[in-house]
Structure 1
């Protein structure tokens, strides 16, 4: 099994001074890509192309995630904000284009169609989620489940390429790992009051908050003191910590069912990286215990 080096390979396509100097790209989907390469490496037919498939999927996912961060709100913007917005549009398009090029060069036309179909599915899921969010017709659990599906959808396209226990537990493991990623992202959002709107914490407070709090939230109130008060009052960090703990336990439980020692070892490397990220939130999480 080849060592996991997709982030290093992807640098060739994402590390441009213009992008680095004027905008910020989304987080690289490391855990899911590492998992995909490890599982594909255990198949007879696709082991040699496991790294290529993980690389192209990294570019597709990064393209989608970059477009998701484009500011679509009305209102005037500074020159710097406009440049950042324009670069996000161009970068997302560029990453997606590279995916086609790499697979075409490798003669993987069928894989182009498979991933393209998955992209359509992702976009359909996003539209459904965004409409529900605009209509305030969603609860925290629904939001979380939808985000898990969005994180997983591209990777589920590889389900029928896998063999044995890897195929049997792929979806379950992918969802559990995606839950870990989502909680870590939600914890990061908790540090920035301006990102509170439509986060997991936002939808949770809409379910349990007072009428006055709901009115302020619907008016997009993001004053730091107000948001901090909601976090403390409704034990947001503790609830996210519980979700994270359950997701980690699920990954470990599924790992125990795998038949391949190599897969188990790779999964341990993946979880070590996840746990390292969790350690960065330890002070905030410990405050709630």
Structure 2
């Protein structure tokens, strides 16, 4: 219900024929936006602005995520003129989505909100630079990869800590971090199913960290052999390990939610946790093993 409303509002700014025809957009951040909206609803000072704040946060996040889809490799000529146009449109679309946030907040006189979100974007960009540098230098392990991913997912939402009061102000940073970690683990679990999405995944960093010298060398010299990555992820039981991490993080998230001391808010947030619970159910784990 809430998800659909915010999504529809955001689509008014994102639904452009040129973008939809020539490039793809990242997944809308439903979970984190719904989490923000629900918690803001319980903050007397911020409840009246919950729709606006959720909308602009979704637009900024979509802008950041769209820019992340730009291929920065030298041989960007992949796909010829159409490929180049798609890359250019990703840059322009990301800039456009981000610019809408300034416009909407300034119209509403929310100058302080502009400052908080702008500072969060600067922090996120610094984190990205460190993250990409470590990846390029191969100075990253699986847990660090997860840590950076969670920081990038949670950065914008942490900027709303000052909008919370009392118990919510104390719990919000941990709540956002736990929820983002669950989202990150679910995303990585789904990548195990897709041969085309395995490059640079948690599983690859796990094998580079835990694998034998022979397997690490094979992974480093694989070229475009994605089937080799898949076989190594199966050998090192990556789906099982991700499932265990997701179960652990979901349990921690549920424990944290109990501390909010609001049955109404718990009922509102329960649907957001369901995808994490379903992804680690017995049938799901069995299906992932069979994929290997």
TM over 0.5: yes
> Which residue does 1:108 correspond to in 2?
110
Give how far 1:8 is off: 1.5
1:229-271 CA-to-partner distances (Å, cap 9, x unmatched) read: 1121100100111111112111211111112222111111222
Give how far 1:17 is off: 2.2
- What is the SS of the residue equivalent to 2:178? helix
- Paired positions, count: 287
- What is the SS of the residue equivalent to 2:55? helix
Q: Which shows bigger deviation, 103-112 or 169-178?
A: 169-178
Give how far 1:276 is off: 5.8
RMSD: 2.1
CA shift in 2, pair 1:29/1:274, >3 Å: farther
Q: Which shows bigger deviation, 185-194 or 17-26?
A: 185-194
- Contact 2:207-2:233 at 8 Å conserved across structures: no
1:128-277 alignment to 2 at 5 Å?
A: 128-219=130-221, 221-275=223-277
Matched, 1:59 2:68: no
- What is the SS of the residue equivalent to 2:171? helix
Tell me the distance in 2 between the aligned counterparts of 1:83 and 1:191: 29
CA shift in 2, pair 1:83/1:228, >3 Å: same
Tell me the distance in 1 between the aligned counterparts of 2:121 and 2:164: 20
> Which residue does 1:77 correspond to in 2?
78
Higher relative contact order (CA 8 A, sep 6+): 1
Give how far 1:220 is off: 5.0
**TM-score, structure 1 as length reference:** 0.92
**TM-score, structure 2 as length reference:** 0.91
1:107-135 CA-to-partner distances (Å, cap 9, x unmatched) read: 11111111000000000011111111111
Tell me the distance in 1 between the aligned counterparts of 2:266 and 2:273: 10
- What is the SS of the residue equivalent to 2:184? helix
Unaligned 5+ residue runs, structure 2?
A: none
Q: Which shows bigger deviation, 194-203 or 150-159?
A: 194-203
> Which residue does 1:26 correspond to in 2?
26
1:269-288 alignment to 2 at 5 Å?
A: 269-275=271-277, 283-285=286-288, 287=290
- Contact 1:60-1:96 at 8 Å conserved across structures: yes
- Contact 2:33-2:54 at 8 Å conserved across structures: yes
Give how far 1:284 is off: 3.3
Give how far 1:177 is off: 1.0
Unaligned 5+ residue runs, structure 1?
A: none
- Contact 2:38-2:265 at 8 Å conserved across structures: yes
Tell me the distance in 1 between the aligned counterparts of 2:34 and 2:271: 9
Tell me the distance in 1 between the aligned counterparts of 2:253 and 2:163: 21
Give how far 1:222 is off: 4.0
